[in-house]
Amino acid sequence: MKAAIVASLTLLSLTAPALAVTTEQYKFQGESASAYFYQNDGCNSTYVDVYAFENATKNAPGAPTKQSEVYIYYSNYNYCTATKSYGSGASKNPIFKSNKSLQSASLNGTFTVTDYLSGPTVKRAPLTKTVDLALTWTGVGDIYRGNNHSHNQGPGYRSNFRSVGAYRDAKVAGTVTLDGTDLIANLSSNASLSFSNSASLSITKN
């Protein structure tokens, strides 16, 4: 699959807790990297989505400021117990290193996420937790140029990404640790590297 940000479509017919709908808009240029980790078995559906980019501008009150930024979303749904957990968060100015030749990239940082848990027999208020992230990307295959669009969806989360530029598939390795547990251990993955002339990312949460 040739995509600057992993072109994946995960549709889960789940009802998230009743929360206000919020949408975050990012625009960016230059290097970026993405990784999508996933697993499905008899009872569980798990996935983790990571976006990292330089020169990101977030739509917010006041003058826009360009800076490096990383965004993470994770979810797990147990079909056998109808219990779901998911969370998301962002970190400004992480240690993100990449190159225009799309050979490799690395990302390291510690930041907070908002974590949700609910089900027929369990439900709690959202918690603030800490995620430690250490990932490396290695480009594989050809470099492609043109337009790209991808869409991801999970419980309480929807993202849309569009870009114009160069992109390349990649292998990704490392850890995404929450509460001492590596969220991506033994998960399958897709990943990519890109250099965008212009790009946008829209994230809707509820």
Residue 19 lies in a domain: no
Indicate the pLDDT class of residue 142, thresholds 50, 70 and 90. very high
Indicate the pLDDT class of residue 173, thresholds 50, 70 and 90. very high
| CA distances (Å), origin 33, targets 76, 79, 88, 152, 196 | 23, 31, 17, 16, 11
pLDDT at 6 over 60: no
Q: Within 13 Å, how many C-alpha atoms sit on residue 76's CB side? A: 15
Residue 86 lies in a domain: yes
Tens-digit pLDDT profile for residues 11-28:
333 333 444 678 888 788
Tell me what percent of the residues of the chain surpass a pLDDT of 90. Answer: 35
Angle at 179 between CA 106 and CA 120, to 5 degrees: 120
Looking at residue 99, its pLDDT comes to 82
Looking at residue 156, its pLDDT comes to 64
Strands 83-92 and 104-118, bridge-based pairing? antiparallel
Residue 13 lies in a domain: no
The mean pLDDT value for 33-44 works out to 89
Looking at residue 1, its pLDDT comes to 43
More confident residue, 46 or 67: 46
Residue 176 lies in a domain: yes
Residue 23 lies in a domain: no
Distance (Å, rounded) from C-alpha 64 to C-alpha 66?
A: 7
Q: Give me the sign of the Cα torsion angle 120, 121, 124, 128.
A: negative
End-to-end CA distance of the chain: 29
Distance (Å, rounded) from C-alpha 194 to C-alpha 205?
A: 25
pLDDT at 193 over 90: yes
Distance (Å, rounded) from C-alpha 78 to C-alpha 84?
A: 6
Residue 159 lies in a domain: yes
pLDDT at 63 over 80: no
Looking at residue 56, its pLDDT comes to 67
Distance (Å, rounded) from C-alpha 97 to C-alpha 28?
A: 15
Tens-digit pLDDT profile for residues 90-125:
887 789 999 878 999 999 999 899 998 878 878 788
- Concatenating the DSSP letter of every residue in 127-189 gives EEEEEEEEEEEEEEEEEEEEEEEEEEEETTEEEEEEEEEEEEEEEEEEEEEETTEETTTT-EE
Count of domains for the chain:
1
Residue 129 lies in a domain: yes
Distance (Å, rounded) from C-alpha 190 to C-alpha 3?
A: 10
Domain that holds residue 83: 32-205
Residue 59 lies in a domain: yes
